Amino acid sequence: MRHLMAATALATCLASSAARAGTSVCTADPNDPVANCGFETGDFTGWTLSGAYALAQTNLFGVDSYDAYSGNFGAYFGNTASTPGTYAAANNLVMSQSITLEAGRQYTLSFELAQTTPVFTGYSNFFSATFDGVVEMSETAAAATSGFVDYTYTVTGSGTDSLAFAFQNDDGDWSLDDIDLSQIPEPSSVALFGVGLAGLGLLGRRRAV
């Protein structure tokens, strides 16, 4: 667990955090509608946390520099269930946010996720990502990763949208950072851009002649 980290591991963590410090990937996107997408406020500002039992375990989730993929902060989520292996709504820690997107417009939803600990007998983990009530990703007993993994999904805005993540990790931590929603260019816009490039190329050839 995080609070039992050895001195050597702590030194490695600090070095790793320093290497990642800088501009957050998602906050560098001026069009990202997700508030506090990289937790750069140093807390969960902009997000709503729920889960009756989970919220009482304040030392088992939070925002710190160690869990950053980019920027200075990232979020971590540990054992917030009353019984190992239980993932009922009352136990899960759920982090959610309401977002206003253009109705009918497609977006790319992406985030960086890591899981620190191998699954042992009697211990497991759970993670899910939900957009407008549709489960985009659900993991149970996920294997440990060697670092952050980028997950990307295509979603469609409805005008008033919701984004939610649910967590539980019996013997380790999930790390989450850089939650980004980016508009997917409409086909007509891409085609027009291609015509413009072709026109510039033709103009260049004529000048060369």
Is the pLDDT reported for residue 191 higher than 60? no
40-66 pLDDT per residue, tens:
999 999 999 998 788 888 889 999 999
97-156 pLDDT per residue, tens:
999 999 999 999 999 999 999 988 888 899 999 999 999 999 999 999 999 999 999 999
Please give the residue range of the domain that contains residue 168: 2-208
Side-chain-facing half-sphere of 197: CA atoms under 13 Å: 6
Is the pLDDT reported for residue 187 higher than 90? no
14 falls in which pLDDT band (50, 70, 90)?
very low
Contact 100, 162 (CB under 8 A): no
All residues at 6 or more sequence positions from 153 whose CB lies less than 8 Å from its CB, including other chains:
108, 109, 110, 129, 131, 136, 137
195 falls in which pLDDT band (50, 70, 90)?
very low
For the whole model, what pTM was predicted? Answer: 0.80
pLDDT at site 52: 78
Provide the CATH number for the domain around residue 172: 2.60.120.260
Count the domains in the chain: 1
